[in-house]
Every structure is written in structure tokens, then in C-alpha cells.
Amino acid sequence: MFLTIGTTGTQERPATDLGFLLHKHPDKAQTFSTSHGSAHVFYPEASAERCTAALLLEVDPVALVRRGKGKGRGGAPDAALAQYVNDRPYAASSLLSVALAAVFKSALGGACRAMPERAESPLPLRIEVPALPARGGVELVHKLFAPLGWERVDVTAVPLDEQFPAWGDSRYVRLVLEGELRLADALRQLYVLLPVLDDAKHYWVAPDEVDKLLRAGEGWLADHPERPLITRRYLSHRWGLTRQADQALELVRLAESDDLDVDSVDNAVDESTDTEEKPVPLAEHRRTAILDALRAAGASRVLDLGCGQGQLVQALLKDVRFTEIVGVDVSMRALTIASRRLKLDRMGERQADRVTLRQGSLTYTDKRLAGYDAAVLSEVVEHLDLPRLPALEYAVFGAARPGTVLVTTPNVEYNVRWETLPAGHARHGDHRFEWTRAEFRDWAGQVAERHGYTVRYVPVGPDDPEVGPPTQMAVFTRADTTTTTTTTTTTEKKKKEAEAA
Ligand code: SAH
């Protein structure tokens, strides 16, 4: 199994930088042992003008069978023999994809300490896979790679035997990709699509494969026209996992797509509460409630998780007590709007130092989110499919563990008070659920208990005697935070002082 990655360059920007980006020196041939054989990395050419890295995987077919995971597809009449005489050693497949991930792990992640800006920018790339088993043939290979930004996607069928063209084509193709792409993006595409084309994943597909797929598919899979086929085949036709992946990707697509205006999340129904002459939008009530709760908790370093277009980040910036504000959202589009709203590019250095916007999904744990005073999830949980909620719960309450967590969500009971909202409709098309007060408290109570937090509930907007407030907020306090104890001790101290006096 063999694949080459090449690039071109100049004296100023030498092609050999590829070695830095792949974290493999062009002057050395290196061998790595993987679970199915040896992977060799070497450079057939390495000059300032042209540099090509080759990955060769030498699979041990016997070991593969011994591991009980080989799927012989050689078509030999004797099934036992077919286990040993199979095409695994020669054809690019899921094994090559695993080797790719193992050998080029950092490159796949897009990390390059030596040349961060090179890793971030597109390079002229040429990738060749001489023997790619392709179930679905030339046409499918085209359909998979053509939408991914390559200038040239060249797929040719490999004849069964060149000497005997009459025998027709084999099930292999030769694939050549050329274009300007970020190296990490190109590697991620291969990592997913090689096994998809092979459609014979050699290893057990475990539930964490969904996360691997979502990670490797970031930025290109959500709106790929062949997405259903890709997820289905990548997850070895395991229906439950495929559905999980599809739902998550659909969410990403929605968040990215132009027809979901994140602002409309607030405005999907006219959420104005019209008690006064000039109605106060519910979004403003929410921000006030959130700011009050953050101040009461004494928070200064705050995460706004699912920050959308940055309205809360903007409000936080106005109060100097909030010294560090991090907005996280899965939607690049929302973040772009947020950064424009905040005028990040024109902000003075001291202001700019206080704020960070970051793309990320809240269903993955992220070490960088640990150690904050507080996290806000304002109108976010209802955008996740219920089965994804435990992942968010773990990432926030289990891993990041801020001292205070504020969660707001619509109170579905209040919907009857909105005349503009047809009965039984959610407030926004992208809401996956809307909870009653009891349902919200049930969820929040369990979360608090599982992760060592206490929780109290705050109504947001006019609290209707029958159906409650339009928005409900849960204020979680980590049980070991000192704030509450300090307050009690101070109160006690004052009481004692008063008593003494
Ligand atoms: N917090 C803002 C925006 C709420 S809209 C407000 O109160 O107005 C919900 C936001 O959550 C959207 O911007 C959406 O992109 C984001 N979101 C949804 N699922 C997410 C996920 N898994 N990870 C990160 N952000 C997500």
C-alpha cells in the first residue's frame, strides 16, 4: 500500500518545508511499526523546487488473519486460503488510513510548531494513490473528491492485467489529486475517504469512531453531497452510529448554512414582553439575568459557550470586572459576525487581550476550557439532539468544571402566551426540544448531582402565575467553590460582631 504527497516551492519558500509540516525529515527514511505491519516514510525527491513524501505500508497478511480481523476479498475459491491470499498488503485501504493517522498524527491535526503559518495556509499539493480499491468505481471516486476544492481529480481504472486488456478493469483505480489545499485538510479527507472507497473496514467499529469521523470531517463533510454514503460506509453500515453521525453533521451544516440566521434564534417569535411602553426584548432580559448572576458569583474569567453572534460577549466586555472572556461556537459564520460586531480588528490591545473567540464543538472535551470561574450556556442546549446532550454535559460539568454554570432555555409552557406562535410549534425551527419547567429541573437536578454541583432556578422575563416565565435559567455552583462558604463565614462573622456589639 502506497501513497505519495508532493508539493512545489521556491528558494524563499522551499518545497522541503513539507518535511516540517509532516514532522518527518526529508533526509531520513523512517520506519514505524503499526498494528498491522510496518509503515515506511521516505522522500523520493526533496529539493527547494519539488518535494515528495511517500508512505509505504507493508502489511503482514498472516498477522492480519491471526488478529481475526482480515477480510480476504481475493476471490480465491478456497475460503481458508483466501484469508491469507488477499489484497490487503497491496491495496490502499483502511489500513493505510490508520497508518496515515498514526504516522502523520500532528500533521492531520494541523499542528506545526516550527511553521504554524505554513500549516495554516494552502499549499500546492499533488497526492497520488496508485492502487486504490474503489467499490463504486471511477465515478464514485470522482464524486467523493470533486467537491473538496481540488483543481484536478484524475481517476483512472487499473486494468486487471495490462497484457490482456480484454480481461477488463480491476476494482482498483489510480487516483491523482492536484490543487491548493491545507495539508491537514487533504490528509483528513484521505483518512476518511480511503476506507469509504474500500468499504471493508478491517477493524471493529467502536462508538468512538463517530467522534473520529466528526473530527476528521470538520470543515468539509457536513455539506458534502455524498455525506450519507460516506458516513454509512465509514461506520461499516452500523446503522445506529451512522444516524448519530448524521445528526451531528446536520447540526453543523445548519449552523454553517446561510439560511440559519443565528439572530433569528432570538427573533423566531416576537419574544418582546410588552408590560411597558417600549417592550424589552426577551434576549435583553436574559443578558441582564446572566450578568447579574455572574456578578453575584464573583466571576471574572468567563466562558460563553455557544456564543452565537457575540451579543453577550459584547455586554461582558463593557464591565471591567470580567477580565477574560472566551466565546466558543461551532459556527464559523456566527463567529465571523461576532468578531465584526466586537470590531476585534480595531480594538485596542488591552481590550483585545480580554477577549477570545474560538471555534469548537461543545460535545467534545477541550482542555483549554478548564479553570474558568464561570460558563454560560445561553439558549444552546435546546439546539442539540437529546442523545448528544450527555456529551455536552460531560465536556462542561465533567471536564471543564467551572465554578459556576448558567444554563438558559425556553420554558415550553409559556409558548401558549405567544399569539404569533401556532399551537404545538417550537419557538425556532432548529430547536430540537423545548422543556417544561419540570423537565428542565429534572435534567438540571441530575446533572448537578452527577457532577458535584448545587443548582437553583431563576425565572427570566415576566413570571406568569400559570405557565411560568418565558425563559428558565439554572444557576449551578460547584460544591467545592469557596464563594458560598466565604459569604456564609462573612455573614456569620458580621452576625457575631453584631452580637458582640
Ligand atoms: N448564546 C447565544 C446564541 C444561542 S443560539 C444567545 O443566547 O443568543 C445557539 C448557538 O449554539 C448557535 O450559535 C450555535 O451555532 C451554537 N451551537 C449549537 N450546537 C453547538 C455545539 N455542539 N458546539 C458549539 N456551539 C453550538
Q: How far is the CA of 472 from the centre of ligand 1 (A)?
A: 17
Q: How far is the CA of 147 from the centre of ligand 1 (A)?
A: 27
| Burial of 418 (C-beta count, 10 Å sphere; 0-12/13-18/19+) | middle
User: What predicted TM-score, i.e. pTM, was given to this entire model?
Assistant: 0.50
Pocket probe for ligand 1: among 380, 384, 394, the residue whose CB has the most ligand atoms within 8 Å is: 380
Nearest CA to ligand 1 atom 12: 308
Ligand 1 binding pocket includes 380 (Cβ within 6 Å): yes
The DSSP H or E segment spanning 21 is: helix 17-22
CA of 264 to the centre of ligand 1 (A): 12
pLDDT of residue 205: 61
From residue 443, how far is each of 286, 382, 436, 455 by CA, in Å? 20, 12, 11, 11
Q: Which atom of ligand 1 is nearest to the CA of 376?
A: 1
Is residue 86 within 8 A of residue 61, CB to CB? The reply is yes
Neighbours of 342 (CB within 10 A): 22
- How close is the Cα of 407 to the center of ligand 1, in Å? 12
| 265 Cβ below 6 A of ligand 1 | yes
Q: Which helix (H) or strand (E) is 393 found in, with range?
A: helix 389-393
State the Cα–Cα distance between residues 197 and 389, nearest whole angstrom.
Answer: 32
Closest ligand 1 atom to Cα of 307: 1
Determine the Cα–Cα distance for residues 14 and 47; give it in Å rounded to an integer.
7
What HEC string does 60-107 produce? CHHHHHHCCCCCCCCCCCCHHHHHHCCCCCCCCCHHHHHHHHHHCHHH
Ranges in the chain annotated CATH 3.40.50.150 = 282-485
| Residue-level pLDDT, tens digit, the chain, 501 residues | 789 999 999 999 999 999 999 999 999 889 988 767 789 999 999 999 999 999 998 876 665 555 544 444 433 344 455 444 455 444 446 778 888 888 898 898 887 888 888 888 899 999 999 988 888 889 999 999 999 999 999 999 887 777 777 777 777 899 999 999 999 999 999 999 998 988 765 555 666 788 888 889 988 998 899 999 999 888 877 777 888 787 778 766 666 553 333 333 333 344 444 333 446 788 899 999 999 999 999 999 999 999 998 999 999 999 999 999 999 998 887 888 888 888 887 888 888 899 999 988 999 999 999 999 999 999 999 999 999 999 999 999 999 999 999 999 999 999 888 766 667 777 776 788 999 999 999 999 999 999 999 999 999 999 999 999 999 999 999 998 754 444 444 445 555 555 555
- For residue 361, the CA-to-ligand 1 centroid distance in Å is 9
Q: Which of 360, 363, 326 is closest to 342 using CA atoms?
A: 326
Backbone angles phi, psi at 283, to 5 degrees: -60, -35
- Residue bearing the CA closest to ligand 1, atom 9: 380
Does 378 contact ligand 1 (Cβ within 6 A)?
Answer: yes
Question: Within 10 A of 285 (CB to CB), how many other CB atoms are there?
Answer: 21
CB atoms within 10 A of CB 9: 18
Please provide the DSSP assignment of 138-182 as one string.
Answer: HHHHHHHHGGGT-SEEEEEEEES-TT-GGG-EEEEEEEEEEEEE-
Amino acid at 348: G
CB 43 within 8 A of CB 19: yes
Going from the Cα of 362 to the center of ligand 1, the distance in angstroms, rounded, reads 9
- Ligand 1 contacts CB of residue 362 (under 6 A): yes
CATH for 282-485 is: 3.40.50.150
The pair phi, psi for residue 63, each rounded to 5°, is -60, -40
Task: Determine the distance separating the centroid of ligand 1 and the alpha carbon of 29, expressed in angstroms.
Answer: 46
User: 95-130 in b/e burial notation, b at 16+ Cβ within 10 A?
Assistant: bbbbbbbebbeebbebebeeeeebbeeebebbbbbb
Distance (angstroms) between ligand 1 centre and the Cα of 255 equals 8
361 close to ligand 1 (CB < 6 Angstrom): yes
Sign (positive/negative) of CA torsion 264, 270, 272, 273? negative
- Cβ–ligand 1 contact at 375 (below 6 Å): no
- C-alpha cell at position 468: 411560568
CA nearest ligand 1 atom 3, residue: 308
How much distance in Å is there from the Cα of 440 to the middle of ligand 1?
18
Question: Taking a C-beta distance cutoff of 8 angstroms, is the pair 296, 321 a contact?
Answer: no
Closest ligand 1 atom to Cα of 362: 23
**CATH class of domain segment(s) 2-203:** alpha beta
Degrees, nearest 5: CA angle 414-291-345: 115
Nearest CA to 233 out of 141, 156, 312, 315 is that of 141
Please state, in angstroms and rounded to a whole number, the distance separating the CA atoms of residues 294 and 302.
8
Rounded to whole angstroms, how far apart are CA atoms 21 and 462? 56
- The pLDDT of residue 273: 43
pLDDT of residue 373: 97
379 CB within 6 A, ligand 1: yes
Range(s) of the chain covered by CATH 3.30.1610.20: 2-203
